[in-house]
Structure 1
């Protein structure tokens, strides 16, 4: 009987230690992972490494951000990069960001409205978002 109890105890410990559930991660650890994902996206975008001479060589993608009341912001990316890989990473980041907010019950409210850019312009060799204001 002691052997059976011992075996059950060992099996229980193995089951608990082999659990791959991410519920043991802290909010700070998950936020750090999101920050690393965002840094990778920024690096892939080419915004800090490529010269902007033609605005048509650049695209704009919507990306969640904590700096705009938890809403979306926009990131410029070079079309010379692997666009599919870049946009897939942006999509994965957006999903991870939504999962993070849901898991930790994060709700950000604000009155700021982010205006969607109309394109990209090159200023001093750097890409910048451009906005054409249209009044109706």
Structure 2
């Protein structure tokens, strides 16, 4: 009786292990090689070199490292630990869709408010090299950063020795309304030219917010009461 029971338990264990292997095999993101569509497949062993990422074709997505899969029906999967991962890293599948031609891969993730584009640098049977291609929104955001940097550089170009020589203005446009904040500037600079740059930035940010549906808090930044010089730097006081 014990022998029969032991045999039954052994059979159940073997059957369970076999079914588990089948389930793993059905869920390991294997994608058959397609010579007519070299992009389709699984890519991992990513190496970053400046702006480019080099992937190697693999059989299935790794469990504990970054990898991507371009499936049939334009399904995209990336094995990732997220953008803010710190050791020990936990990797998971982030899914979405993609569209691609010979030059550009456009990815839209299901759980990410936006998308990203990759420019194909080279693509062979065994290797995929891509570099980030900025989206229209990202390009416009970079332009905003440049505009901000220009007037911020002007505002901080003078040494603060006498606070009476300084004043301030509001800048930017929050999505919920009102300015982003205030910035101090010297009265000894080209004030009209400086204020025009601040105004242009504020208008551009308002257009950007409305175009892309940007969301922000609705709190109103406090207005400064005065300016003090601290080691040559103008400091706003509230």
TM-score range, shorter chain: 0.5 to 0.7
The alignment yields a C-alpha RMSD, in angstroms, of: 2.1
Structure with greater Cα Rg: 2
Query: Quick check: 1:70–1:108 contact (8 Å CA) kept in 2?
Result: no
Which ranges of structure 2 fall in alignment gaps of 5 or more residues?
A: 1-134
4+ residue runs over 4 A deviation: none
Matched, 1:130 2:237: yes
Residue by residue, what CA displacement relative to the aligned partner does 1:75-115 show, whole Å, maximum 9, x if unpaired? 111111100000001000000000000111112125x4421
Structure 1: distance between partners of 2:223 and 2:165 = 19
* Equivalent runs, 1:63-74 vs 2, <5 Å: 63-64=171-172, 71-74=179-182
Determine which of 87, 93, 114 is the counterpart of 2:201: 93
Query: How far is 1:72 from its partner?
Result: 2.0
Determine which of 149, 155, 179 is the counterpart of 1:39: 149
Structure 2: distance between partners of 1:113 and 1:85 = 27
Matched, 1:53 2:183: no
Residues 77 and 117 (structure 1), Cα distance of their counterparts in 2 relative to 1, 3 Å cut: same
Query: How far is 1:50 from its partner?
Result: 2.0
Structure 1: distance between partners of 2:212 and 2:161 = 43
Structure 1: distance between partners of 2:146 and 2:164 = 28
Which ranges of structure 1 fall in alignment gaps of 5 or more residues?
A: 1-24, 132-136
Q: Which has the higher helix share?
A: 1
Q: State the TM-score, normalized to the length of structure 1.
A: 0.68
Query: Quick check: 2:168–2:184 contact (8 Å CA) kept in 1?
Result: yes
Residue by residue, what CA displacement relative to the aligned partner does 1:11-68 show, whole Å, maximum 9, x if unpaired? xxxxxxxxxxxxxx710000000000000001111x2x322111111110101267xx
Aligned residues: 102
Determine which of 217, 221, 233 is the counterpart of 1:114: 221
Query: Quick check: 2:162–2:229 contact (8 Å CA) kept in 1?
Result: yes
Query: How far is 1:123 from its partner?
Result: 1.2
